[in-house]
C-alpha cells in the first residue's frame, strides 16, 4: 500500500486517536465549492473534503447539467462532468492533497463519466455501489447497474498504474437509510466491498448508517468489522458511520443530540470516519457554516468518547449478515452474477423497496425497545437465524409512525429519556 491517498489519511488519523469527520455539502458554484472545501479543511476537527454532485449528473442528464452551468443556474450539487477540467482543478488548487483528501459523492448507478471527470482533475476517492446506488430509489435495472459499476471500478482501479491508491466507499450499509434491520445492511456493505475488491480496488471503506437503537447499532458495526477481517484480509479498509439518514429532528437541541450519538457510536465501535448531518437537515440544504458547526460538534463529542468495541461475532446481526453473505457467494463465482441471482431468488430483499428487481416480501418494524426487527424475512435464507416477530401486519400507519420515530424521540424527550440513555449536548 502507498502512504498517500484517502484511505491512508484516514488510517493515520485513526492511529493518532482522531475520528475523521466529513460533511456532505454540495454546491454548484466553483467559488462556493472552493469556499466550502477551505472551511472544512480549516475546521477545528480532523476532516476530509466532500464534493457532492447534483441530481442531473447523478441520473446522467448531462445536457441539463451543462445548460445549468452555461446559464449560471444554481443546482443542488457540483456538476463535475459539466464544468471544464481547468475550473475544477482551480477549485482544488492548494487545498486537496495528502493532508486533506477530497471525496466525490454522487448517487449514480452509472458513474463512468463521473469517474472519468474526477480522475481527470487528480481525484481518486468516491463511493456508491452496484446495489446501493440502484436500490431503493433508482430506476436503472439492477443488471445494468452491476455492469456499469464493474466498468467504473476498472476505470478507477487504473489509477494504481500511476502509483495512486484509489478509494471506494460502499453505500450498502445505508440502503433505504432507515427501517432496514442491520443484518441486511451489513451484508450488502460487505458484498459491495467484495465487488470492489474483485474489480481491482484495494482501498475500501464499508458504511453503516445509524439506526434506531444505540446498542443494536454498536452490535452491527462490530459485526461489520468482524466480517471485513474475514473477507478483506489483503485490503486496506475502514468503517464509516453515517449520522441518521431518516427524518432528522426539527429542533436544534434534538439535532445535536442525535449527531452526538452518531459520534459516540463511531468512536466507541472503533470506526474511523463519520459522515455528519446538520441542524438544518429537516428544513433545507445546510450552509457551509452549519456544516462546519456540525463537524466541530461531532469532533468535540468524539474527543471525549472512549473506544469500547464489542465482540463482533457474538451478535444476532453477525449471524444474519454472515448467513446472507455466505448464501450469496455460493450462488456464482462471478459476484455480479451472484448479486443478480440473490435478488431474483429473494435471498436479498430490502423492506419497503419498490424497485422492480427487489422481491418486496420482507418487512420490518421498530419494537418497544427501539430495536429494528424482522416482521417477515420473505425468502431470505434466515430461517432459524433471524428473530422474526410477526406480531401483526405492518400497516401504512405503522410505517409512517416508524419513519418519524427518531425525530420524535430526540425532539420531545430529555437526554435521559432518549433511547440509549445520556446523550452528548451541543
Please tell me the predicted confidence (pLDDT) of residue 401: 63
How far from 179 is each of 58, 352, 411, CA to CA, in Å?
Answer: 24, 9, 19
How far from 377 is each of 177, 346, 352, 387, CA to CA, in Å?
Answer: 18, 9, 12, 10
Rounded mean pLDDT, 354-366: 92
60: alpha, beta or left, given left = phi > 0 and alpha = psi -120 to 50? left
Rounded mean pLDDT, 168-192: 92
Which residue has better confidence, 425 or 163?
Answer: 163
Name the pLDDT band for 416 (thresholds 50, 70, 90). very low
Sign of the Cα pseudo-torsion (206, 165, 123, 336, in order)? negative
As a whole number of angstroms, the distance between CA 251 and CA 289 comes to: 17
Please tell me the predicted confidence (pLDDT) of residue 369: 85
Name the pLDDT band for 410 (thresholds 50, 70, 90). low
* Centroid of chain to Cα 336: 20
> Bridge-partner residues for 207, per DSSP?
240
Kindly report the pTM of this predicted structure. 0.92
Residue 178 has pLDDT above 90, yes or no: no
Pairing of strands 167-170, 125-128: parallel
Rounded mean pLDDT, 366-374: 87
For 281-290, the CB contacts below 8 A with 24+ separation are 281/248, 281/255, 282/247, 282/248, 282/249, 282/250, 282/255, 282/407, 283/250, 285/26, 285/76, 286/25, 288/25, 288/32, 288/35, 288/36, 288/39, 289/39
Q: 8-17, 242-251, 303-312: which has the minimum mean pLDDT?
A: 242-251
List helix spans (H) across 42-141.
Answer: 55-58, 62-71, 85-92, 112-120
pLDDT one-digit tens code per residue, 76-120: 999 999 999 999 999 999 999 999 999 999 999 999 999 999 999
End-to-end CA distance of the chain: 39
As a whole number of angstroms, the distance between CA 257 and CA 195 comes to: 35
Name the pLDDT band for 402 (thresholds 50, 70, 90). low
As a whole number of angstroms, the distance between CA 160 and CA 202 comes to: 9
Name the pLDDT band for 393 (thresholds 50, 70, 90). low
Contact 130, 144 (CB under 8 A): no
Look up cell 445520556; give the residue: 422
Please tell me the predicted confidence (pLDDT) of residue 254: 72
Name the pLDDT band for 45 (thresholds 50, 70, 90). very high
> DSSP state, 159?
G
How confident is the prediction for the chain on average, in pLDDT?
90
Rounded mean pLDDT, 223-231: 97
Amino acid at each position: 500500500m502507498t502512504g498517500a491517498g484517502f484511505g491512508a489519511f484516514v488510517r493515520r488519523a485513526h492511529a493518532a486517536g482522531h475520528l475523521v469527520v466529513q460533511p456532505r455539502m454540495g454546491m454548484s458554484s466553483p467559488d462556493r465549492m472552493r469556499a466550502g472545501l477551505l472551511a472544512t479543511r480549516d475546521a477545528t476537527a480532523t476532516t476530509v473534503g466532500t464534493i457532492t454532485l447534483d441530481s442531473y449528473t447523478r441520473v446522467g442528464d448531462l445536457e441539463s447539467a451543462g445548460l445549468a452551468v452555461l446559464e449560471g443556474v444554481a443546482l443542488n450539487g457540483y456538476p463535475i462532468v459539466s464544468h471544464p477540467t481547468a475550473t475544477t482543478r482551480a477549485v482544488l488548487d492548494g487545498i486537496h492533497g495528502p493532508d486533506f483528501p477530497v471525496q466525490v459523492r454522487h448517487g449514480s448507478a452509472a458513474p463512468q463519466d463521473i469517474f472519468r471527470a474526477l480522475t481527470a482533475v487528480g481525484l481518486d476517492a468516491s463511493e456508491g455501489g452496484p446495489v446501493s446506488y440502484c436500490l431503493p430509489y433508482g430506476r436503472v435495472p439492477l443488471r445494468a447497474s452491476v455492469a456499469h459499476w464493474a466498468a467504473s471500478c476498472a476505470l478507477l482501479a487504473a489509477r494504481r498504474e500511476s502509483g495512486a491508491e484509489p478509494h471506494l466507499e460502499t453505500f450498502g450499509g445505508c440502503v433505504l437509510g432507515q427501517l432496514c434491520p442491520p443484518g441486511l445492511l451489513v451484508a450488502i456493505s460487505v458484498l459491495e466491498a467484495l465487488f470492489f475488491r474483485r474489480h481491482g480496488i484495494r482501498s475500501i471503506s464499508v458504511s453503516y448508517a445509524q439506526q434506531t437503537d444505540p446498542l443494536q447499532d454498536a452490535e452491527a458495526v462490530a459485526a461489520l468489522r468482524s466480517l471485513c477481517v474475514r473477507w478483506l484480509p489483503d485490503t486496506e479498509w475502514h468503517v464509516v458511520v453515517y449520522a441518521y439518514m431518516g427524518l432528522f429532528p426539527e429542533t436544534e437541541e434534538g439535532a445535536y443530540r442525535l449527531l452526538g450519538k452518531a459520534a459516540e457510536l463511531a468512536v466507541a465501535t472503533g470506526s474511523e470516519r463519520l459522515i455528519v448531518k446538520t441542524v438544518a437537515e429537516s428544513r433545507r440544504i445546510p450552509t457551509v457554516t452549519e456544516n462546519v458547526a456540525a463537524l466541530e460538534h461531532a469532533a468535540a463529542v468524539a474527543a471525549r468518547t472512549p473506544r469500547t468495541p464489542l465482540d463482533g461475532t457474538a451478535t444476532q446481526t453477525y449471524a444474519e449478515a454472515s448467513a446472507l453473505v455466505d448464501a450469496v457467494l455460493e450462488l456464482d463465482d462471478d459476484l455480479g452474477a451472484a448479486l443478480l441471482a440473490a435478488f431474483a431468488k429473494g435471498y436479498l430483499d430490502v423492506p419497503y423497496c419498490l424497485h422492480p428487481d427487489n422481491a418486496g416480501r420482507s418487512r420490518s418494524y421498530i419494537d418497544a425497545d427501539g430495536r429494528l426487527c424482522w416482521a417477515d424475512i420473505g425468502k431470505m435464507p434466515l430461517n432459524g437465524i433471524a428473530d422474526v416477530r410477526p406480531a401483526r401486519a405492518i400497516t401504512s400507519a405503522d410505517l409512517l409512525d416508524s419513519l418519524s420515530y427518531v425525530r420524535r424521540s430526540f425532539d420531545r424527550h430529555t437526554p435521559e429519556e432518549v433511547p440509549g440513555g445520556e446523550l452528548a449536548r451541543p
